Every structure is written in C-alpha cells, then in structure tokens.
C-alpha cells in the first residue's frame, strides 16, 4: 500500500462520517456524545482499577490503600 492510497482511504472515511453527522439533528448528536462519554469513562475506570491492582500485586501499596482507591 502506498501513502496515497492510505490517505485517500482516510479522507473518504472522514467524509462519510461527516456526511453521516450532517444528517443528524442536535438530539441525535447529544445521544451519540453521551454514549461515547459513557464508554470513555468505563475505560478510564477499568484502566485505573487495573493499575491499582498491579501496584497491590507488586507490593508497592498496602491492601488498605488499594481498598480505599477502589471504593
């Protein structure tokens, strides 16, 4: 694949997404933004819970600190 083919593909994908969003009204865009934020917050929560568990498993924090962080 050449750089031109990749950039053309990305340009067409962006154009399709913008055309799709252009067909929506404010209520639909608000719903999509809410869903995206919910998914983002779930991912962030999972990431930090995983990191605190890794710190607990490595012995860098105590069980009390781990439970305090995961309330």
Measured distance CA(33)–CA(6) in Å, rounded = 28
Give per-residue pLDDT as tens, 19-68.
Answer: 998 999 999 999 999 999 999 999 999 999 999 999 999 999 999 999 99
State if pTM tops 0.75. Answer: no
Contact criterion met (CB below 8 Å) for 63 and 56: yes
């Amino acid at each position: 694949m050449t750089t031109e083919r990749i950039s053309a593909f990305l340009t067409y994908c962006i154009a399709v997404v913008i055309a799709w969003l252009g067909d929506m009204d404010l209520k639909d865009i608000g719903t999509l933004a809410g869903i995206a934020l919910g998914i983002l917050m779930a991912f962030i929560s999972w990431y930090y819970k995983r990191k605190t568990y890794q710190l607990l498993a490595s012995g860098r924090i105590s069980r009390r600190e781990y439970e305090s962080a995961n309330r």
